[in-house]
Structures are given as structure tokens and as C-alpha cells.
Structure 1
Amino acid sequence: MRVDASINNDSPFSGLLRFWRSVHQVSQEELAYRTGSSARHLSRLENSHVSPSLEMVEAIAVALDMLERDSNHLLIAAGFRAQEKKADFRSADLKWLRKAMALTLRALDPHPTVLIDGSGDILMVNESWVAFYSRLIGEHHLACVTNHFDLLFSLHDATSGSKAYTDALCLILMSIQQDVLLTQDNAMQQRLTQLCATPGVPDDWARRAAQLDPMASFRVELQIDGSPERFFSVSQTVGAMGPTAYVSEPRLTINTLYPESAAKHAGADAQGYRHPLLPE
């Protein structure tokens, strides 16, 4: 089977439409029949002479039996918002993924590591994460924390207002703001409003974040037992592959803290701590 994956100057949507039609070996005439359109209109779409409507993109995705990830590629290429369905990390279908994440977090000990979803809700932690943050806010209080972003912003006082930490918070706000604009998620809009009201967060956080490289990893400084210590906060995305992995459920991120000093272990002496989200 020959698949049309050629690169040309046409629009991204046109190239994707030709590609998926060739993958499924569907002619323009057959696809026109399935979508209630015409072969002439499909030809104009594939040659970038016209732009598709949202209804047409959705009809093509259904007609070609495309999965959510690939349907979202088509939607975004046509200029529309991706349509993601929330995945339940606790569902029976994702038991294998929970096992894989538990093994990953254990392997990252003695470095504090947390697994979060696209809303920043905490799904799983390792023992070093519990030990590290228990030193900062107390084990009992930590057991009540459910959102990673809330935790990071609550620690702003513990950073003595360091520029590096404030910059990190500005970048988080920028990421959430753009996510809200792309997804129109009301719950995330409420969280954004709440986080922006955190004491010490600058009013010009958006302008400040716009001047920073939006990297998934950055340096932070925290007061540990009264002394400033620096860490590298490293985030890794877990989920679907491809250009729209950021909207493919489940949207998971693993965040790990590495001490800047190689001689130190942030989560040392992690034995004996308890937390409801420690893997069994």
C-alpha cells in the first residue's frame, strides 16, 4: 500500500486529509459519499482552495474512523480547538499505566517525584517526595494537599521571594492561562484566578513570563532548615506521541526535584513516611 505523505506548500489540513485518505485507501468519491459532500469539494480541500467547516472536519474524522489523537491533529490543522475527552487514571483500562508509573516513581528515589494530570491534580508520589515536602509543611498538612500547583504557590513564602522561584510561578501561570484559552476549561480558569491572588505573585506576571524561555525544566531555590538550597525542577510528559500530545488524554506529567549539588539527595531518609498517594 502506498501512503501519500509527501511534503508540499499546501495547508497542513490538506496534507493530513490526503494522508489519512490514502492510509484507509478511500477515494475522494467514497469519502464524499460517507460525508454527504462532493468529490469536487474534497478535491478543493486537498488542494487548499477552500477551508473546511468544523462540521466537515468532524464528518471526515468519523468517516475515516480516526482515533481521538488523530482527529485532534485534523481539527488543529484546520484551525479549530481540539476536542479531548477526560480519561480516568483510576479506571480498570489504565491499570497497566498505573503500574508503569509506580515503577517509574520508585526508580526516581531518592529524588522527590510527583505524577500530576493536566489540571495539576496529584495522582501519585514517591517516598522521597513525601519526605521532602513533609520537612517544609509537615506530614499531616501534606496529606491534605491534592494539587501540585497549589502546593508550589503555597511555598512562595518559603522561597523568601527569590527571583528564580517567582519566575517559575510566572511560567506556570502563563502555561495555565494559555491552556485555558485553548480549552475554555472553567475549572482551570478558577484555579488560575486563585493562583494569581497568591501573595507575592507580581501583577505583571504575564509580561514577566513572556520574557522567559518556556522550558519544562527550571532552577528553583527553597529554604531548607533555614538555609537556601537550589534545585532543578524537571518535568517529563507522559502520554500520546505526536504534535498534539499536549491535548491527548490522559495528560500526565512527572515532576522531579534534583539538588543542584550532586553530593546532596533531596529526599534522603525517606523511610517511614505515609501518604495516601504512595503506590502500594
Structure 2
Amino acid sequence: MKTFQGPRAELTTHGAAVGDLLRLWRERRRISQLDLAITAEVSTRHLSFVETGRAKPSREMVLRLGEHLDVPLRERNHLLLAAGYAPVYRESALDDPELGTARDAVRQVLAGHEPYPAVVVDRLWNLVEANSSVSLLTEGSAPELLAPVPNVLKIALHPRGMAPRVINLGELRADLLGRLRRQVEATADPELVELLDEVRGYPCDQPVPEVEIPSHGNIFVPLRLWHGEQELSFFSTIATFGAPLDVTLAELAIESFYPADEATGDYLRRIKENA
């Protein structure tokens, strides 16, 4: 099992008024003042005063509005700071003893998923941990893509990464960029915007569908790639921690790959048995 550590990054929302930030989050979620007031059980008048800066929200009000607006924990801390309160959600290092139980659970998931690949990524798609089978996917990638902080999107789509071995690169590109765009829309994270700008600039010699229309029998977008002379086909599932109260945990995601056909499953099991 491999462990990768990367630098933390801060968003650039410091200095903005809490009312302006709350209004931006409400507009981003396409929720009216009336609807938010009803769900958060606050008067529309008071909410309007908070957004315009005529009233200072209490600490509990900031947290309540952040929850109802589904604001990421990192940004809820920024809302609190903008309102003059201390952050309440910790951002622990991955090796923090406080995260020991969660870290052990993640590693059990990764190890138990062998011989199929599984990765853990942070909010920026940086590779945090991976099981040994992930080497089947990253094999042949340029060293600069694998260190110092591997990024799974860059590895997947870069012409010196997995891309030359991906049989359905156009489909995969559309799926990954679509996921990243939705993440940008949900979080407004400027670092994700930079990542999106970079990876969509990578070349692709296949048509990239604007709208994914499944062909007969398809129920997911597969990852199809060559490993030597063997064609492998995978689908994946994504798991996150339920109700996390730590920024680091809230931003972790486990993506587990499963064989999409019997030939891929048999091939991976043989590799494991012969290792």
C-alpha cells in the first residue's frame, strides 16, 4: 500500500463579508431567500438583513444556514471567520492520531478490494492512498505525473499518463471532466477551476461526447485500457465518510474499480496468484 502526502491549500474567500458569502452560496444553490428562510426557520426579513450586512448573524445562524445550503465544511469555517467567529471544523493531518480509526478503516477497504484497484483522493483529486493493484492503471506513466503529488485526473488524461492506453479515451474524458465541472459548480473552489482548465487542455484524438448517450446494454461509462496485450474493462464506485465533522475526512473519497467483464476479473486474479 502506498501513501502520498501533499500540501494543503486555502481558498481565497478571506476578507469577504459574511452576508455576501451567504448570498453567493444561496444563489449558487439556486434557492430563493424565501425558500431558505423557511427551511432554516428564520424570517425572510432577518435573512435579507444578514445578506445586506444590516444584521450580524449569530454563530448558530451561520452554521444553520451553511448546513441548509450544503456548504462544504472548509467553506463553513470561512463563513464563521467572515462573521467574526472561530472555525468549528478541524482540518487534521492524515497522520493525526485523531484520524487513526478512519485511516485504519480506509486501509482495510483498500486491502480488502485486492486484486482490483482502489484509490483514495482528496478534494483536488490528489492521490492520498492506493492499493497495490493501482499499478496496473498507472504503469508506464511519466515520473513527473507520479511525484511528488500524483493527481488521478492528470494521470488518467495526460498524454504521458494513462491516456495512450485508454481505448475509450473520449468517453472517459467526457465522464471525468463532467464530474469535475459538477464539483466546481458545487464548491466554487478556485483550485478546482485551475485543475479543470489544465486537464481540459490535454489533447484527445477521439471524439468527446457532449452528452453521454448509452449504447445498448451499457449501464455505466467503463474504463477500458490495454495492459500489455490484454484489454481490461472496469467500472467504479465512490464512497465517502458519513456525517464527517473534520474537513480532511469530509473531502476524502474512495474510488473502487471492479471488473466489467469476466476476462478482466480472471486476468487480475491470475496476476495476484502469481505475484
Same fold (TM over 0.5): yes
Equivalent residue of 1:257, what SS? Answer: strand
TM-superposed CA distance for 1:138, in Å, is 8.6
2:66 corresponds to? 72
User: CA 1:124–1:17 in structure 2 vs 1: closer, same or farther (change >3 Å)?
Assistant: same
Cα separation, 2, equivalents of 1:271 and 1:87: 40
C-alpha contact (below 8 Å) 1:171/1:209 kept by paired residues: no
Indicate the residue corresponding to 2:259 in structure 1: 259
On the 8 A contact 1:105/1:126 being kept in 2, the answer is: yes
The 5 Å alignment of 1:17-96 reads: 17-18=40-41, 42-44=42-44, 53=51, 59-60=57-58, 62-63=59-60, 66=63, 71-75=65-69, 83-84=75-76, 87-90=91-94, 91-96=96-101
**Would you say the 8 A contact 2:226–2:232 is kept in 1?**
yes
Whole-angstrom distance in 2 between the partners of 1:237 and 1:57: 40
So what's the TM-score if we normalise by structure 2? 0.62
1:117 corresponding residue in structure 2 = 122
Q: How does 1:1-280 map to 2 (within 5 A)?
A: 11-18=34-41, 42-44=42-44, 53=51, 59-60=57-58, 62-63=59-60, 66=63, 71-75=65-69, 83-84=75-76, 87-90=91-94, 91-130=96-135, 132-133=136-137, 135-137=139-141, 142=146, 146-153=150-157, 154-160=161-167, 162=168, 165-200=169-204, 208-211=209-212, 218-232=221-235, 234-241=236-243, 250-262=250-262, 263-266=265-268, 268-270=270-272
Asked whether the 8 Å contact 2:117–2:132 carries over to 1, the reply is yes
CA 1:250–1:54 in 2, change beyond 3 Å: closer, same or farther?
farther
Which one-letter code corresponds to 2:101 in the other structure?
A: W
Mapped partners of 1:133, 1:57: distance in 2: 54
Please, which runs of 5 or more residues in structure 2 have no aligned partner? 1-32, 78-89
Query: 1:239–1:248: 8 Å Cα contact kept in structure 2?
Result: no
Residue ranges of structure 1 left out of the alignment (5+ in a row) = 1-9, 19-41, 274-280
Counterpart-to-counterpart distance in 1, 2:125 and 2:55: 31
Amino acid at match of 1:199: P
Greater radius of gyration (CA): 1
CA distance in 2, matches of 1:267, 1:198: 33
Is the contact between residue 155 and residue 162 of structure 2 (CA under 8 Å) also seen in structure 1? yes
Change (3 A) 1:149 1:141: closer
Aligned-partner residue type, residue 119 of structure 1? L
After superposition, what is the alpha-carbon deviation per residue over 1:206-256, rounded to whole angstroms, capped at 9, x for unaligned? xx344458xx96312101212433222x132313449xx9x9952222112
- How far the C-alpha of 1:108 sits from its partner, in A, is 0.9
Q: Any runs of at least 4 consecutive aligned residues in structure 1 with deviations exceeding 6 A, and if so which?
A: 138-141
Deviation of 1:158 after TM superposition, in Å, equals 0.8
The question of whether the paired residues in 1 share the 8 Å contact of 2:37 and 2:44 is answered with no
Distance 1:56 1:106 in 2: 54
- Structure-1 separation of matches of 2:146 and 2:191: 23
Give the letter for the 1:13 counterpart: L
What amino acid maps onto 2:239 in structure 1? T
Q: In the superposition, relative to structure 1, how do residues 150 and 111 fare at CA in structure 2: closer, same or farther (>3 Å)?
A: same
Contact 1:89/1:250, CA 8 A, preserved across alignment: no
CA distance in 2 between counterparts of 1:115 and 1:97 reads 12
Q: What secondary structure does 2:250 align onto?
A: coil
Query: Normalising by the residue count of structure 1, what TM-score does the alignment of the two structures yield?
Result: 0.61
